[in-house]
Chain A
Amino acid sequence: DTEVTQTPKHLVMGMTNKKSLKCEQHMGHRAMYWYKQKAKKPPELMFVYSYEKLSINESVPSRFSPECPNSSLLNLHLHALQPEDSALYLCASSQNLGLGRARKAGELFFGEGSRLTVL
């Protein structure tokens, strides 16, 4: 299995709702990522997990809460979102290659994304 699978494909939620986005990969990758992509804009990094630990948070508001229950799964919990949070949320994974100073992130494998609309 060489795919990253994201669910749901589409999500509509109100500003008071709590919902979650899910991402799954079975390629043995130990780095997983959340990106946000607005229309006609590039993917913007939100979070990086490395070996199931949060390693990078790009100053994302706390209404977005990531979780990595195991090496294959990545969740993004959503609560009290704003209409401007409406976007395509992309999950990606990569191998962590090498050790120490030789370590590299490698190629990112992307899911198809979850399109979120906040009303």
Chain B
Amino acid sequence: AQRVTQPEKLLSVFKGAPVELKCNYSYSGSPELFWYVQYSRQRLQLLLRHISRESIKGFTADLNKGETSFHLKKPFAQEEDSAMYYCALSGRSTGGFKTIFGAGTRLFVKA
């Protein structure tokens, strides 16, 4: 079974501070991991994916298969980073591929 765990519902940091949003997953095969973000009054959108190993808006995430983790990190948080962040896992299921989401972490960056 696929499962995504985001242990923090809310993370509050000061502007310029480092931020780490935690994500752990459970999946028996080789998963695709993603971080999606939802800014206020905007649609849910992709932030980054583990396959591309890129940095988007200063955020990075490394897949650690040993720890089954895909934590999202940014060295210096900005106020505009305040949003809802969802870790997502896409994997093979009976019938096809499906993407499931963790519970989400609301990031609040204070001035």
Residues of A within 8 A of B (CB): 31, 33, 41-45, 48, 50, 55-56, 58, 90, 94, 96, 103-108, 110-113
Chain A residues closer than 8 Å to B43, beta-carbon distance? 110-113
CB distance from B56 to the nearest CB of A (A): 12
Interface size class of B (residues with CB under 8 A): 20 to 34
Chain A residues closer than 8 Å to B96, beta-carbon distance? 31, 48, 50, 55-56
Residues of B within 8 A of A (CB): 32, 34, 36, 43-46, 49, 86, 88, 90, 93-104
CB distance from A24 to the nearest CB of B (A): 15
A107, B90: Cα distance in complex, Å: 9
Contact A55 B95 (CB under 8 A): yes
A108, B45: Cα distance in complex, Å: 8
Q: Which 7 A-B pairs have the closest CB atoms?
A: A55-B96, A105-B97, A42-B101, A105-B90, A110-B44, A55-B95, A56-B95
